[in-house]
Chains A and B, each alone.
Chain A
Amino acid sequence: MSKESILEIIVRHVSEVIPALASHPFQPSDSLKALGANSIDRADIIMMTLESLALDIPLIEMAKAQSIGELAGIIHAKS
């Protein structure tokens, strides 16, 4: 799966966890924290993404991502 498709899945789950962002113009540089996701929201978003992709990767691997674009990159590299 392409990095762009992974980013789309991340964005879908961000909107699911934070419905107020449904019409937000997401950019790869957006950070989950700045979007208003707290640490529990972030963990759930990442897990929902891994679940959608059926990827069994330890969450710790995703910890260094500073933006949703970087997160998509890390997941892409592991998939």
Chain B
Amino acid sequence: MPSPSRHDIAISGVGVTSAIGQGKAEFLSALLEARHRFRTMRRPGRQQPVPVSTARAQPPQQAPGFLGAEIESLSMPSSIAPGLLRNASFSAQVAVATLHEAWVDAALHEVEPTRIGLVVGGSNVQQRELIQAHDAYRGREQFLRPSYGMSFMDSDLCGLCTHAFGIRGLAYTVGGASASGQVAMVEAIHAVQSGRVDVCIAIGALMDLSHWECRGLRSLGAMGSDRFAHDPASACRPFDRDRDGFIFGESCGAVVIEKLQTAHRTGRKPYARVSGWAMGVDANRNPNPSVEGEVAVIKAALECADLTAEDIDYVNPHGTGSAIGDLTELASLIQCGLGRARINATKSIVGHGLSAAGAVETIAVVLQMQAGRLHPTRNLDDAIDDSFNWVGSKAVAHTMNNALNLSMGFGGVNTAVCLQTLS
């Protein structure tokens, strides 16, 4: 039995909104049953507009669009004044709804507002709505809504959330591409450790892609799927030989970070101790990952947690379904001696939330630890390395003491977080 981490940081509350469900209970049951919502995306602005001349000649269904998983309907708590939301983007509204769950979960109404902080992970998260505003006002720019001048900034998510919940400690955004959610968690941990606040919420914001970002990510070879254009259910397949890129999934996660000694306010055991964490960069502007960088953060997080690789009984990998990313990650895990821990891929069910992924997957980890069950990995028909201890098409029972959660982002960003069950 490993000695308890020297760190006394805990996760006292969570909130999650995703295409597979809103709220932790719905999210966990969808994960365990591998209920996905992948299809050709329909949210306005997600597909390249079909020119009128082409539309006549060729109905849109002849040309499948970008695939992904979209939130069917967002349930907004009645305590949030509708007026506050009128000029809030979809990303901002989802952040408020998700934070509400975490807020209630961690009983944050009992905490002095000046002692609460908020770190929002993600940059340029409102692209689809901005493009829609540009399209609506092109040629008559003088009528652009004045509130655009306020809401176009990602920090409007901070403004809206702090306004809605009366937060008066600190609030800012951090960007780390697809590692943003975990970068936000690391920032929140530092804010609590340094004593700047007693409680800090880390949000992995919903990255609201427009068809322009989808196109860029597809052209770059990061986003799938040419191979499964007509079979959305099969397109998202991390670690499978037939993968051809990540499949987008709208999501947002809120994680409440505080010291163990204050977390008892909730009247129940915190979800987990954050026993170790690490962030590093590769001195590489490009999207390609590196074994060296990933190994460095895994080792640093384990060391921070006073753990060895043998102590880890579950790895929640970044696992996007990208050609090189998945291979690099498995090579890194093997090099760190983590080839025997149980492993699954949350993105195979949720999709890739980009800025949200790190926070959403940390929530997936702690909910699975609490349930003592691991969710299936969808579409893992022919694993690129079958020596790993994969959770395949069925959920499994598994007792976990220590889990490792990884995130990587374009521009050489690597993060790792160790989560420990509290006895």
Where the two chains meet, the residues of A that have a C-beta atom closer than 8 Å to any C-beta of B are 17-20, 36, 40-41, 43-44, 47-48, 50-51, 56, 59
Query: What is the chain B residue whose CB lies nearest that of A19?
Result: B82
**A-B contact list, 8 entries, CB within 8 Å:** A17-B83, A17-B86, A41-B83, A47-B143, A47-B144, A47-B145, A51-B140, A56-B142
What DSSP secondary structure best describes chain B's contact surface? loop
A20-B82, A40-B146 given; 9 more Cβ-contact pairs under 8 Å? A17-B86, A40-B150, A43-B146, A44-B145, A44-B146, A47-B145, A48-B145, A51-B140, A59-B146
**Which A residues lie within 8 Å of B87 (CB)?**
40, 44
Question: Chain B interface: which size bin?
Answer: 10 to 19
Query: What is the chain B residue whose CB lies nearest that of A39?
Result: B146
What DSSP secondary structure best describes chain A's contact surface? helix
**Which B residues lie within 8 Å of A17 (CB)?**
83, 86
**Which B residues lie within 8 Å of A47 (CB)?**
143-146
CB distance from B352 to the nearest CB of A (A): 34
**Which B residues lie within 8 Å of A19 (CB)?**
82-83
B194 contacts the other chain (CB 8 A): no
B147 contacts the other chain (CB 8 A): yes
Query: What is the chain B residue whose CB lies nearest that of A59?
Result: B146
**Which A residues lie within 8 Å of B143 (CB)?**
47, 50-51
Query: What is the chain A residue whose CB lies nearest that of B82?
Result: A19
**Which A residues lie within 8 Å of B82 (CB)?**
19-20
Q: What separation, in Å, do the CA atoms of A43 and B86 have in the docked complex?
A: 14
0 or 1 for each of B122-155: is its CB under 8 Å from A? (1 = yes): 0000000000000000001011111100100000
Query: What is the chain B residue whose CB lies nearest that of A52?
Result: B143
**Which A residues lie within 8 Å of B144 (CB)?**
47
Q: What separation, in Å, do the CA atoms of A58 and B42 have in the docked complex?
A: 38
CB distance from B267 to the nearest CB of A (A): 36
CB distance from A9 to the nearest CB of B (A): 14
Taking a contact as CB atoms under 8 Å apart, the answer to whether B83 and A20 are in contact is yes
Q: What separation, in Å, do the CA atoms of A18 and B142 have in the docked complex?
A: 23
**Which B residues lie within 8 Å of A20 (CB)?**
82-83
**Which B residues lie within 8 Å of A43 (CB)?**
146-147
Taking a contact as CB atoms under 8 Å apart, the answer to whether A40 and B147 are in contact is yes
Query: What is the chain A residue whose CB lies nearest that of B150?
Result: A40
Q: What separation, in Å, do the CA atoms of A48 and B86 have in the docked complex?
A: 14
Q: What separation, in Å, do the CA atoms of A41 and B142 have in the docked complex?
A: 17
CB distance from A23 to the nearest CB of B (A): 15
